[in-house]
Amino acid sequence: MPDAADLERLLRAAGLRVTRPRLAVLDAVHAEPHLDTEALIGASRARLGAVSHQAVYDVLRVLTDSGLVRRIQPQGSLARYEARVGDNHHHLVCRDCGAIVDVDCAVGEAPCLTPSDDGGFAVDEAEVVFWGRCPSCTAA
Amino acid sequence: MPDAADLERLLRAAGLRVTRPRLAVLDAVHAEPHLDTEALIGASRARLGAVSHQAVYDVLRVLTDSGLVRRIQPQGSLARYEARVGDNHHHLVCRDCGAIVDVDCAVGEAPCLTPSDDGGFAVDEAEVVFWGRCPSCTAA
DNA sequence: CTCCGTTTCTTGACTTGTTCAAGGGAAGTT
DNA sequence: AACTTCCCTTGAACAAGTCAAGAAACGGAG
């Protein structure tokens, strides 16, 4: 769990200005992965007192573009964000409750998998989503 | 390429009523894979003369639920539909132009891949999206 | 073949997540 | 400390998809 100084360093290293909304959003994404935008707006407000939703949207875009956070969006789910970035891990998604859990990639580096026939594409990433039912939904 | 009678058979086999909108949408999905909803509305109207967008949305939901078509939705793309179903193939997606191409699954049956640690999930499918650049975007 | 009940389609309004735009305010540079 | 640039606020707009009520069509029964 990085502290405020770490987060500030991350932003500067990415060539971004350090602002309170950016620190708050980045902190929230580190604190709890796989939150959707609305939850992140809430989490940012808990940290700052007030932020516009537009600011959070802007910050998330900037952070995503500069590679500080990763956006994921399984089918049927809203956009979600996580701070684990650059390790090409994958996700388990529950068909019932939508819960998302990280899975380490067996290989580690992207693309961890190569298509049987790449159709001439220059492939740089293999995104894998494992669909199933989480333990508590299986029980119910 | 199935003809009208084949499509009708598919619908009946799935326990669905045979209606003109359903035949038109199903035909369009077979004719050209990976179309989005708006394109399918257009393709259906080309076949029927007139259909409401709502009817197409309803038909797509019913066809998807009954397994006659598969819905895919890579990040940054609208919902798209394809008739290749039940063979657990995967997709190549171009980061620039959004082109989608099928890739056969090396294994064939779902889930073709199993997570390193399933976290207690009952996994039934591994969805794989290969991201990269298509030949013409690579050239440009 | 016709009638009837149920499903499906039409019409039109609405929701939701996200984006656009204009102006005031803060970050960081000199 | 002043200035320039970028960021945040406010409020409106947008687009894909959904909801709801009534009309039409499917297909089973007589």
Rounded average pLDDT over B72-86? 95
Q: Which nucleotides of D are covered by protein (CB under 7 A)?
A: 6-12, 16-20, 25-27
Q: Which nucleotides of C are covered by protein (CB under 7 A)?
A: 7-12, 17-21, 26-28
Same domain, A91 and A139: yes
Q: Would you call B124 and A131 a contact, using CB atoms and an 8 Å cutoff? A: yes
Report pLDDT digits (tens) over A1-42. Answer: 889 999 999 999 999 999 999 999 999 999 999 999 999 999
Same domain, B70 and B17: yes
Same domain, A95 and A128: yes
pTM for this model (two decimals):
0.92
Least confident of A126-135, B11-20, B106-115, B125-134: B106-115
- Please report, for the domain that includes residue B9, its CATH number: 1.10.10.10
Please, what is the average pLDDT of chain B?
A: 94
* Letter string b/e over residues B5-29, b meaning 16 or more CB atoms within 10 A of that residue's CB: eebeebbeeeebeeeebbbbbbbbb
Report pLDDT digits (tens) over B17-55. Answer: 999 999 999 999 999 999 999 999 999 999 999 999 999
Same domain, B75 and B113: no
- Please report, for the domain that includes residue A115, its CATH number: 3.30.1490.190
- Mark residue A47 as left, alpha or beta (left: phi above 0; alpha: psi -120 to 50; beta: remaining): alpha
Rounded average pLDDT over B87-99? 93
State the smallest CA–CA distance between residue A95 and chain B in angstroms: 10
pLDDT recorded at residue B42: 98
Same domain, A17 and A63: yes
How many residues in total does chain A contain? Answer: 140
Domain boundary among B65, B80, B95: B80
* Residue A137 marked ligand-binding: yes
Rounded average pLDDT over B101-107? 86
Domain boundary among A28, A55, A80: A80
**CB neighbourhood size of A103 (10 A):** 20
Domain boundary among B50, B80, B110: B80
Same domain, A95 and A66: no
What whole-number distance in Å separates Cα of residue B123 and Cα of residue A131?
6
Which structural domain, as residue segments, surrounds residue B131? 86-140
pLDDT recorded at residue B111: 79
